Amino acid sequence: MVGHAAGALVAAGAQRDLGRNKDGRRSSRQGLKDADPLVRQGAAQGMIASDNPTMSLELVEFVPDEKETQVRKTMLQSLSHARNTNDAFTKAANKLAAQTSSDETMIPEVLAFAPICPRSRRNLRRRC
């Protein structure tokens, strides 16, 4: 219960503060490294809610380092809601979708995430 509350606080704080200051970005990066998986999930959700392309890119780059499958799934689901992206994000997201699609347990999340990555969507269709 405490972990869920902590994750919700990280997400709520990030949604309010991220994209506006470096302290918000720093706290979300720290949230991604927290021992509690719910805090890491909340940090990922907050990073996307910030609508900051730098934060979205940082999350894309962090996903491969996440060890827990459920947290990786949540991070991919969060990335599917990214709206404010740039070319660097698209390139990194295409690479992530290609890497992640080799894990059969992640296919639903990759399919949810891939629509924002046109190149990955085409490649996934060929594989399925």
What was the pLDDT predicted at 128?
42
- Are the C-beta atoms of residues 123 and 98 closer than 8 Å to each other? yes
Higher-pLDDT residue of 93 and 8 is 93
- Give the chain's domain count: 1
- CA–CA gap between residue 12 and residue 25 (Å, rounded): 13
What was the pLDDT predicted at 66?
93
Residue 34's pLDDT band (boundaries 50, 70, 90)? Answer: very high
Q: Which two tokens stand for residue 39?
A: 């805090």
Which backbone phi and psi does 82 adopt, to 5 degrees?
-65, 130
- Are the C-beta atoms of residues 4 and 38 closer than 8 Å to each other? yes
pLDDT averaged over every residue in the chain? 76
- CA–CA gap between residue 79 and residue 21 (Å, rounded): 21
- Who contacts 101 (Cβ-Cβ below 8 Å, separation ≥6)? 107, 110, 114, 120, 123, 124, 127
Across 26-45, average pLDDT: 89
Q: Which residues span the domain enclosing 11?
A: 2-127
pLDDT over 60 (residue 100):
yes
What are the CA-CA distances from residue 43 to residues 18, 69, 102, 111 (Å)? 10, 16, 25, 22
